[in-house]
Structure 1
Amino acid sequence: MTSIDTAGPAQASTRKSRLVWLSRYGTLAAFLALIAFNIAVTPNFLSWQTLNVNLTQVATIVIVAVGMTLVIATGGIDLSVGSLMAISGALAPMIFLGSIVPIPNPALAVALALTVPAVVAAAFGWFNGMLITRYSIQPIVATLVLFIAGRGIAQVMTNGNLQVFKNPEFQFIALGRVFGIPAQVIIMAVVVAAAFFLIRRTGLGRQIIAVGGNEKAARLAGIPAKRVKRLVYVISGALAGIAGLIVVARNSASDANLVGLGMELDAIAAVAVGGTLLTGGRANILGTLLGACVIQMVRYTLLANGVPDAAALVVKAALIVAAVYIQQRADKG
């Protein structure tokens, strides 16, 4: 009788199983490992102050990364989110300080400062979507336009000056608390819950995944692919605008040179580490939340143990490469 060697297929199956496990649970395992390491090594890690710092720092990353997840799910990318944060953060103080038009009613001024900048950022998101859908410009190129010009717009708006302010009503979105929970964490939770519901329970969510999976097939099935793409860029822009408001409210100042700087990288890293394919066709909202937590925990761990912040950039890059590699290998089987 001739024996059949099954060692090769068996080994391949084992590797496949390991890659699938890493793809599904690797981010959670990394997060738990970071927590365990900090409990053992980092002083005062289990204090409320440490939890508060990490939650407030991760909130804006998550908010922006949720929008990025929706964009990437359609097969796109949005490099403009950091610059849109700068525009939103520059515009808000100008509104309630009366730098554009004096507003006699303080409550109205704050209300406008909390809404108009996000609407403006959403409008810029629509501009990104139009470049992509109407003029067939590649997403990375189309959003690169505002990545470069957007921060310049914010700097021109403020003449490059730091806007310092103290407005408790406006700053409540960052410094306020509801039942002891930071307001910005509540905003983050609402954004995550809304996006999770959108993807899992609505027709639009299914259309987003369909467009990213196979745009041509989606169009043939009657899905308005261009409209769906424009909408996700509008959502991404609006969420970036909200994140910009939180950042300037938290800092009691608006600096167009720094607000949102590098946020596009953090958002993309959170999405990749969280398990959403960068090629589109998948949107793991809870994974993005966990990925953002990993990114923040890496930064906190390095800083708390005396490692320069610049080292976090190297670790982020390594995490993205590892996440993409594992996803690709797991999908190829």
Structure 2
Amino acid sequence: MTGTSPMTRTTARRFDPFDFLARYGTLIALLLLILFNLVFTRNFATIQTLNVNLTQVCTIVIVAVGMTLVIATGGIDLSVGSLMAISGALAPMIFLGKIMPIGNIYLAVAAAMLVSIAVAGLFGLFNGWLISAFRIQPIVATLVLFIAGRGIAQVMTNGNLQTFRVPQFQFIGLGRVLGIPVQVILMLLIVLAAAWMLKRTVFGRQIIAIGGNERAAELSGIAVARVKLLVYAISGLCAGLAGLVVIAINSSSDANLVGLGMELDAIAAVAVGGTLLSGGKATIIGTLIGAMTIQLVRYTLLANGVPDAAALVVKAGIIILAVWIQQQGRAHA
């Protein structure tokens, strides 16, 4: 009897180059970039270079983790940069005693961190409320705080730069534990926690179900509004923490600059990492790899004499390519 066996046909049908690229393309690109730099870039294989690249990508990854969850539901969050600015503006006002003097610096720093992150989370909850209660499109709902949020931060500080030198607070941006930057540890903890939640919990499966088919998820008994509220709150919390890390590194808070353009960097990391921008599929580890790939592309170009403006163009091209591969993978599925 001639012909291809059913098992062979199934195996052949399962292999799709676009699907393979959608799954592993970013990881392959990252490995090739590392190999290229090991061969052609001076001083690449040093702890200092590793630290530089990791610390520059940390805040993007922290924000992008929240963005991944939002996009997995079929939404988007344009407000993350402004929420970073609000958190970054509020924290110094608390630990410097501008709102209410707190005698113990450790209590002041703890209060500044908790309150600032919580406020950003509440603003994220506000985004979720607009989307779930009023059925406003996410891009429109989050555009409200994209515009107003930075204005709130500027009003809080009267548009003034807040400088400080408080080692107890700056530890989250400049400190090290066993030689590892604290911000890298925070990033990895958030990535691992979010990846576990997305894969191993009912809440994670509900997020994916809503992004895949919101109406079907609702009919199956999933509390869609509650899930969306929580997802946007988590995105706000991540943005709030990232804002604190940024001002801790800079030893200052500028409401005009903190988080500026972060929403675009976060979305880029999510897209390049393999999460479908239409929702229904998400990968936190992919987001981490996507952010690292974009950062390493920029580093590679700069280290080899290519202007930063050209690096931005290349980054845009990478995003277009990643989205195209996703579309092809879905078309061939």
* TM bucket normalised to smaller: over 0.9
Distance 1:263 1:50 in 2: 23
Q: How does 1:1-333 map to 2 (within 5 A)?
A: 17-333=16-332
Distance 1:284 1:16 in 2: 20
Q: Please report how far the alpha carbon of residue 107 of structure 1 lies from its aligned counterpart in structure 2 after TM superposition.
A: 1.5
Letter in 1 for 2:71: I
Distance 1:47 1:269 in 2: 27
Distance 2:161 2:42 in 1: 35
How high is the TM-score relative to the length of structure 1? 0.94
SS class of match (1:134): helix
| Residue of structure 1 in register with 2:5 after alignment | none
Distance 1:44 1:157 in 2: 43
Q: Please report how far the alpha carbon of residue 113 of structure 1 lies from its aligned counterpart in structure 2 after TM superposition.
A: 1.2
Distance 1:108 1:142 in 2: 35
Structure 1 ranges of 4+ moved more than 3 A: 13-16
Distance 2:271 2:294 in 1: 11
C-alpha offsets along residues 267-326 of structure 1, whole Å, 9 cap, x if unaligned?
A: 101100110000000110110010010111112112222222222322222111111111
Q: Which moved more, 1:40-49 or 1:306-315?
A: 306-315
C-alpha offsets along residues 53-92 of structure 1, whole Å, 9 cap, x if unaligned?
A: 1111111111100000000000000011011111111111
SS class of match (2:26): helix
Q: What's the C-alpha RMSD, in Å, of the aligned pairs?
A: 1.6
Letter in 2 for 1:241: G
Letter in 2 for 1:59: C
Letter in 1 for 2:88: G
C-alpha offsets along residues 141-187 of structure 1, whole Å, 9 cap, x if unaligned?
A: 11111111111111111111111111111011111111111111110
Q: In 2, are the aligned partners of 1:274 and 1:284 still within 8 Å (CA)?
A: yes
Q: Please report how far the alpha carbon of residue 16 of structure 1 lies from its aligned counterpart in structure 2 after TM superposition.
A: 7.0
Q: Please report how far the alpha carbon of residue 114 of structure 1 lies from its aligned counterpart in structure 2 after TM superposition.
A: 1.2
Letter in 1 for 2:100: V
SS class of match (1:280): coil
SS class of match (2:172): helix
How high is the TM-score relative to the length of structure 2? 0.94
Distance 1:276 1:208 in 2: 13
Q: Please report how far the alpha carbon of residue 189 of structure 1 lies from its aligned counterpart in structure 2 after TM superposition.
A: 0.7
Distance 2:328 2:172 in 1: 42
Distance 2:308 2:113 in 1: 31
Structure 1 unmatched ranges of 5 or more = 1-9
Q: In 2, are the aligned partners of 1:266 and 1:295 still within 8 Å (CA)?
A: no
Q: Please report how far the alpha carbon of residue 36 of structure 1 lies from its aligned counterpart in structure 2 after TM superposition.
A: 1.6
Q: In 2, are the aligned partners of 1:208 and 1:228 still within 8 Å (CA)?
A: yes
Distance 1:155 1:302 in 2: 35
Distance 1:281 1:130 in 2: 21
C-alpha offsets along residues 94-117 of structure 1, whole Å, 9 cap, x if unaligned?
A: 111111122222121110111111
Distance 2:150 2:38 in 1: 39
Distance 1:58 1:275 in 2: 18
Q: In 2, are the aligned partners of 1:84 and 1:151 still within 8 Å (CA)?
A: yes
Q: Which moved more, 1:316-325 or 1:300-309?
A: 300-309
Q: In 2, are the aligned partners of 1:16 and 1:330 still within 8 Å (CA)?
A: no
Letter in 2 for 1:242: L
Letter in 1 for 2:172: I
Q: In 2, are the aligned partners of 1:211 and 1:225 still within 8 Å (CA)?
A: yes
Q: Which moved more, 1:264-273 or 1:36-45?
A: 36-45
SS class of match (1:83): helix
Distance 1:249 1:317 in 2: 29
Q: In 2, are the aligned partners of 1:207 and 1:228 still within 8 Å (CA)?
A: yes
Distance 1:309 1:112 in 2: 39
C-alpha offsets along residues 225-244 of structure 1, whole Å, 9 cap, x if unaligned?
A: 01101110000000000000
SS class of match (2:16): helix
Distance 2:185 2:237 in 1: 17
Structure 2 unmatched ranges of 5 or more = 1-8
| Residue of structure 2 in register with 1:6 after alignment | none
Distance 2:84 2:68 in 1: 17
